Chain A
Amino acid sequence: MLTRFSRSPSVRITGKRVLQAIPVLIGVTLITFCLLNLLPGGTCLSILGVGATRPAVHACDIRLGLDHPFFVRYWDWAYGALHGNFGSSLVSDQPVGQILRLRFPVTLEIVVYAFILSVFFSVPVAVLAARKPHGILDRISIATSMFGLSIPGFVFGLLLILVFAVHLRWFPAVGFQPISAGLGPNIRSLTLPAATIGFALFCAYTRLLRADMVDQIAGEDYIVTARAKGVKYWQILIRHALRNSMFGLITLIGLNLSMLIGGTVIVESIFGLPGMGQQLLQAIGYRDVTVVQAIVSIIAVGVVAAALVTDLLYAVLDPRIRYGRPSS
């Protein structure tokens, strides 16, 4: 039974990918650790201030365990992190886990909202655009995605505030309403931030889907076959072209996750949302190494996990990989 299970290609692929992710995770956390510990500008100096005496700095180093060798410190940190203990903030002495529990849901909500908005709009728009390449809808979609890819996120966010908060007064410009204040106000306070991130994603997704579908329609044999059989054009677009283009979309989604997180930092700062991004900026400002380390590691782990899920999704979607045949 077990041998049969382990011979199944999908299980083997999953196992291999998970094993491959482990060294990457170690590397990623190690690089963060290096970056935060090796860069000049000591932690204790920034806690105690510029005028701190040498013995005071030394005492602080010992108190925080900063006098241990680098790898010992990394091991201690990694051991704690694996047990869910990220240490406590150097500035406020609050446990990092507690800080993250407060901040994480806000960021997650923005990301999910932005993601839903972008996918919800980009798939139909791309299909409509690809229906008639070089048609009017197609040209509008190309121009829109070029616009979206060329405008920095913070500029677009400010434009949204200018139009929808200052002039039209549809949404609040800044501030966050927790979900306990009701779903309506909560969604309303997150719409502009999510739209800011979502628009950039929408443009990237639309551009990719549209280009891929147009390519397929122009040159692929299965499309020609389907057309020759008299399958309706809409059906070809959705069941043949779109389905194949989903691979590209999934890759892009996986790759874009770190961009998305960069986006939340900006958006949280513009719209004054109490998420992980704001916490991170604050912590970097105070050189609160434990908090920065925890947040950056969580982000990096998230990105690696996303890459893993992307790979596994391929296996689910593509029968050639699922059944272990070489893909072309």
Chain B
Amino acid sequence: MAALAPDVVTRAAGFDLGGGGVAHPAAFDLGPSRFRRTLKSLELWLPIGMLTFIVLICFLWPVIHTVPSPINGNLLDANLPWFTHSSLYGSHYLGTDTLGNDVMSQVLYGGRTSMEVGLGVAVIGFGIGGTLGVLAGYMGGALEAVVMRILDMFLAFPALVIAITIVTYLGQGELNVIWAIAFFAIPAYARLARATTLRIKDQTFIVASRLSGASDKRILFRHIAPNVAPQLLTFSFLGIGVYIIVEATLSFLGYGLPSNVASWGKMIANGQVFLGTEPRLVLVPSACLFILIISLNLTSDALRARWGAQ
């Protein structure tokens, strides 16, 4: 009878119990007001807007406006405060760091790197992990047992430690970092894809299409994939945030990207020494990292609320 719990029925009939349906008396209400609906839609569109803004500014701003180089700065221009103009390299909107590199351009190029790594890992995880998970869930039997046990083993490792090991041995580089992190993204995607597949594979519409003679291939592509993909996509936003954190952490510890690539983690590591005197060098990249990740997390939350409600 759980499905007919009183407040579910009341809600279905258009009563808003307010406050999550706890201690309030049932007040008559014609659904959420227009203002509330706008607020509700902002929950999704605000973080998506923020993400779009970050992507656009990181990828387009250096194209349409000359920014100083993020590396090989002039030591004579070291430690400039905000909004200073240097004769050689143009405007330093966020000042320069202790090596004379422009902070603003490091932020922009570092953001590019973060997003490239995050997206790269997510694509690999989605492709390989998603496929493995769907196949394991759909086929079942020995294939499922073997694939899932192996993937479970990978989950038993501390991701960061193995990523550091892999990057140390393969050498620093953006692609190596992506593969090192993907190593741990694949099992996560596979588990989610399998769980979703298991949930839908015995539902009526799948049984019906099998009864009407559809092949496994058709069922997988036309029925299962479209139902699993939104789940994986929602997870991807959350996942990309995590991968960006791992990349930043790797770079922070000195095991991530090579020295000629700008990265927020590395900016923070370099600024760490001057935390007492120049906290700006740590706070600016930290704030960027935080804003990017919270946008991703909020998007994921909002998408889950939306697609989970169906």
Contacts and interface: CB of A to CB of B under 8 A. Distances in A.
A, B bound: yes
B289 to A, nearest CB: 6
Interface in B144-178: 149-150, 152-162, 164-166, 168-170
Given A23-B149, A224-B6, A266-B249, A218 B168 contact: no
B170 A166 contact: no
A219 B5 contact: yes
A3 interface: no
B253 interface: yes
Contacts of B168: 41, 284-285, 287
A265 B275 contact: no
B87 to A, nearest CB: 33
B286 A158 contact: yes
A33 to B, nearest CB: 12
A218 B154 contact: no
B158 A24 contact: no
- Main SS of chain A's interface residues? helix
Nearest to B293: A150
Contacts of A304: 156
Contacts of B162: 35, 296
Interface string A263-303: 00110011000000000110011010000100010011001
Given A39-B170, A150-B290, A220-B5, A292 B149 contact: no
Interface residues of A, number: 57
Interface in B212-269: 241, 245, 248-249, 252-253, 255, 265, 268
B2 interface: yes
Given A149-B297, A166-B275, A281 B253 contact: yes
A108 interface: no
Contacts, number: 147
Given A152-B245, A154-B249, A133 B19 contact: yes
A147 interface: yes
A28 interface: yes
B22 A132 contact: yes
A146 B297 contact: yes
B152 to A, nearest CB: 7
Interface in A207-243: 214, 217-221, 224, 233
Interface in A82-139: 132-135
B243 to A, nearest CB: 12
Contact of A41 (B5, B169, B279): B169
Contact of B157 (A40, A280, A300): A300
B36 to A, nearest CB: 12
A31 B23 CA distance: 53
Contacts of B270: none
Contact of A265 (B6, B149, B160): B160
A36 interface: yes
B149 A261 contact: no
22 contacts: A27-B150, A28-B156, A35-B165, A39-B166, A39-B169, A41-B169, A133-B20, A134-B19, A134-B20, A135-B19, A146-B294, A150-B241, A155-B268, A158-B272, A219-B5, A233-B23, A258-B155, A258-B157, A265-B158, A266-B252, A284-B168, A307-B156
10 closest residue pairs by CB, A with B? A133-B20, A39-B169, A262-B160, A150-B294, A150-B293, A155-B286, A27-B153, A258-B158, A303-B156, A152-B245
